[in-house]
Amino acid sequence: MKKIAAFFDIDGTIYREGLITEVFKKIIKYELVEGNKWYKEVRPSFIQWDKRQGDYDTYLLKMVDIYTEAIKGINQYHIDYVAKKVIEQKGDRVYTFSRERIKWHKDNGHVVIAISGSPMELVREMSLKYNMDDYRGTIYQIDGNNLYSGDIIPMWDSESKKKAIAELTKKYDIDLENSYAYGDTAGDFNMLKLVGNPYAINPTKELLSQIMDSEEIKKKINVIVERKDVTYKLDVNCLSLI
């Protein structure tokens, strides 16, 4: 029999913010990079998003650009260490709904897989913490001396996640029609569209717009919003974007 899988994005879907931000703060604390990069180049985008005057995707892409440049020339050992520390200290800061869904899938013998735009080192540690079966993340490439080269293979965009699912489907002999996917941004749209049981978790406006414009996904999407200690399930057919 084919296997049922559950594909989880991490940032904003399991973890309540962006893990890459936590890593960046930590490498500044350990003086691996110059702290001014955060305050001069990333923090303004973060503040705009935090005040809800800018969008999350703009902040995230800026964060990725600065992170890529910041770790160039750093030994992979240091980032591996930082990633472990971040998950040790912050790994429980997750949505209740997502944590319970991971447990439900594991209890039912489903293949649980993380597909995230976060650095692979972080995705690996998060998947180990939640006993996931496999993971895919953004690869920050290293050179022959085990130093980060500045080249990346992204996993935050919709097409990259689509390709990853195709590879994983073949690897685990997955039945996509009966499988599940969980995401929160436009980069998760294809992932949600490919499975029979998609969940949009605290979705961005851009993702909701894409969902509402697609009759195919509107028929099967579950929209979940978690605020404080309450989880809401919304009917996408009754939603209007303001």
The residue ranges of every structural domain in the chain are: 5-238
Residue scoring higher pLDDT (143 or 49): 143
d(CA 121, CA 96): 24
**What's the mean pLDDT in 4-31?**
87
CA atoms within 13 A on the CB side of 4: 13
Q: What's the gap between Cα 197 and its chain centre?
A: 18
Residue with tokens 């500044």, as numbered in its chain: 28
For residue 189, the tally of other CB atoms under 10 A from its CB is 23
Beta strands in 42-196 (DSSP E): 111-119, 134-142, 148-153, 180-183
DSSP string covering 41-81:
IIHHHHHHHHTTSS-HHHHHHHHHHHHHHHTTT-BHHHHHH
Looking at residue 65, its pLDDT comes to 80
Our CA angle for 96, 133, 75, nearest 5°, is: 95
**pLDDT given for residue 70 in this prediction:** 83
| Span 40-66, average pLDDT | 71
Residues, the chain, total? 242
**Maximum distance among all alpha carbons in the chain?**
55
Calculate mean pLDDT across residues 11-39: 79
Q: What is the pLDDT of residue 36?
A: 67
Q: Is there a contact between 207 and 217 (Cβ–Cβ < 8 Å)?
A: no
Of 224 and 23, which is predicted with more confidence? 224
Please give the Cα distance from 41 to 47 (Å, whole number). 11
Q: What is the per-residue burial (b if ≥16 Cβ within 10 Å, else e) of 88-113? A: eebbeebbebbeebbeebbeeebbbb
pLDDT tens digits, one per residue of 175-212: 999 999 999 999 999 999 999 999 999 998 899 999 99
> pLDDT band for position 29 (50/70/90)?
confident
Cβ neighbours around 134 below 10 Å, total: 16
Per DSSP, 109 falls in state T
**Which pair of tokens denotes residue 195?**
């499975």
Which stretch of DSSP H or E encloses residue 225?
strand 222-227
In words, the CATH class of domain 5-238 is: alpha beta
Query: Nearest-5° angle of CA 129, CA 176, CA 131?
Result: 10
Contact 20, 46 (CB under 8 A): no
Confidence of residue 23 (pLDDT cuts 50, 70, 90): confident
Residue 35 has pLDDT above 80, yes or no: no
- pLDDT given at position 49: 64
pLDDT for 50: 65
Cα–Cα dist 121/66, whole Å: 17
**Tell me: the pLDDT tens digits for 106-125?**
999 999 999 999 999 999 99
C-alpha to C-alpha distances, 189 to 34, 160, 214, nearest whole angstrom: 35, 11, 10
pLDDT score, position 53: 64
- Specify the pLDDT at position 223: 97
Mean pLDDT of the chain: 90
- Say which residue, 19 or 116, is predicted with more confidence: 116
71-107 confidence digits (pLDDT tens): 899 999 999 999 999 999 999 999 999 999 999 999 9
